Amino acid sequence: MNRRNKICFVVSSPMTAQAFLQGHICSLAKDFDVYLVANFKSHDEISELYIKDAFQLDIYREISIKHDIAAVAKLYSYFRRERFDAVHSITPKAGLITALAAYLSGIKHRIHIFTGQVWATKHGFDRFLLKSIDKLIVLLDTDILIDGKSQRQFLLSEGVLSARKSQVFGEGSISGVNIDKFTPDDTIRNKVRKEIGIPNDDIVYMFLGRLNRDKGIYELLSSFNKLAANYKNVYLLIAGSDEEGCLKHLPEYPSISDKENFHYYGFTKTPEILLNAGDIFCLPSYREGFGSSVIEASSMELAVICSDTYGVMDAMVDNETGLRCKVADIGSLYDCMAAFVKKPSLIRTFGMKGRQRVIEKFSGELVTNHWVDFYHTLLNDKV
């Protein structure tokens, strides 16, 4: 019996594997033995993944020389023992630890995928250090993937990547969208709006993600505050973890009134349910790797408003699936938001075109096929 090629994915959090790799692993497991390294406390956290085995490794998001060296040493021993044909890392810290351990242990195929750069909005030494880590990952690994074309161009222009060993699968996106899961449903829409207390005729602007400065949350609040002062049938629905205590500043926006034209839903594990309540999805981010939440919203037939930062530009088409505002520009964002009040028909027009674009370019099945083809070619496996 021929030995099957062995692939090991390395992530900091098991949630990363669940959110972005589940479909890929399921398909790859048909032809390869797939393993996972992650910082998990219980195998229940990874029970839904089609993996042959898992290895627990303490990978911390913050830089810690002591812990990081220990992690490299443990991973090096694991790689030497298992003799993987390929290792594949996601997220910066996992990427650094994996690149070092895999290079030292002599693994032939060392892959990393970039999904955004924390250093893009940093300055001084922090930017230099974090950017240098990405450069080291590129130096040590053999194949570099990027989940968006504009992100790849950004990294090339910053001198992080070489064109020779970097690529984007298809039109981008690390995992695509489950278009059967993220599909609009009027019954669910009415139910969710009723539960929250949103009038049926209100135009609902949505934000779904981590609440922090880099996501443009303060520009969103300021723009909606102005919008609510000028129009009465508008509503802002925000969901996600408030990482920086952004919403404690709500009293600074007098036209935003909790329960009347605003609701903070908190974190949700079912975005496909909550998105039904919305009309326009807003992501005025300072930086994005790709903007997975944008194509999920488009799949739900929401019009979108996105900033013109690199990365998120790939997730939408200006004046076709939504509108594009300038980064950190309250006036530009307000104009985009007001455009939908002045001409509500744009919501349906952009929404329908958005879903069609997702079906054609970003379906989960299509993206997974790119991953499977990549590994069959890389490892010279016959399908």
Decide: 55 and 78 in contact? Cβ < 8 Å.
yes
pLDDT of residue 1: 54
pLDDT of residue 62: 82
For domain 4-175+362-378, the CATH class is alpha beta
pLDDT at 2 over 80: no
- The domains of the chain are located at 4-175+362-378, 184-360
pLDDT of residue 289: 86
What is the per-residue pLDDT across 234-264, written as a single tens digit (0 to 9) for each? 999 999 999 899 999 999 999 999 989 999 9
Decide: 272 and 364 in contact? Cβ < 8 Å.
no
Neighbours of 67 (CB within 10 A): 14
Instruction: Give the confidence band of 381 by pLDDT, cuts at 50, 70, 90.
Output: low
pLDDT of residue 45: 85
End-to-end CA distance of the chain: 17
pLDDT at 382 over 60: no
pLDDT at 371 over 60: yes
| Residue recorded with tokens 């879903």 | 355
pLDDT of residue 383: 43
pLDDT of residue 51: 95
| Residue recorded with tokens 């997702």 | 358
Same fold, 4-175+362-378 and 184-360: yes
Q: Distance between CA atoms of 64 and 104, rounded to whole angstroms? A: 20
Q: In what order do the strands lie in the sheet with 234-239?
A: 262-266, 234-239, 203-208, 280-283, 303-307, 322-325
What is the per-residue pLDDT across 212-226, written as a single tens digit (0 to 9) for each? 999 999 999 999 999
Q: Distance between CA atoms of 218 and 137, rounded to whole angstroms? A: 33
pLDDT of residue 24: 97
What is the per-residue pLDDT across 60-107, written as a single tens digit (0 to 9) for each? 888 888 999 999 999 999 999 999 999 999 999 999 999 999 999 999
Residue 338: partners with Cβ closer than 8 Å, 6 or more residues away: 227, 230, 231
| Residue recorded with tokens 């609009």 | 184
pLDDT at 292 over 80: yes
Q: Distance between CA atoms of 366 and 373, rounded to whole angstroms? A: 11
Q: Distance between CA atoms of 61 and 78, rounded to whole angstroms? A: 21
Architecture per CATH, 184-360: 3-Layer(aba) Sandwich (3.40)
What is the per-residue pLDDT across 298-334, written as a single tens digit (0 to 9) for each? 999 999 999 999 989 999 999 999 999 999 999 999 9
Among 153-157, 213-217, 287-291, whose mean pLDDT is lowest?
Answer: 287-291
Both structure tokens of 328:
């950190």
| Residue recorded with tokens 């993944």 | 49
Average model confidence (pLDDT) across the chain? 95
Instruction: Give the confidence band of 42 by pLDDT, cuts at 50, 70, 90.
Output: confident
* CA Rg value for the chain: 22
| Higher-pLDDT residue of 381, 81 | 81
| Higher-pLDDT residue of 62, 34 | 34
Q: Is the pTM of this model over 0.85?
A: yes
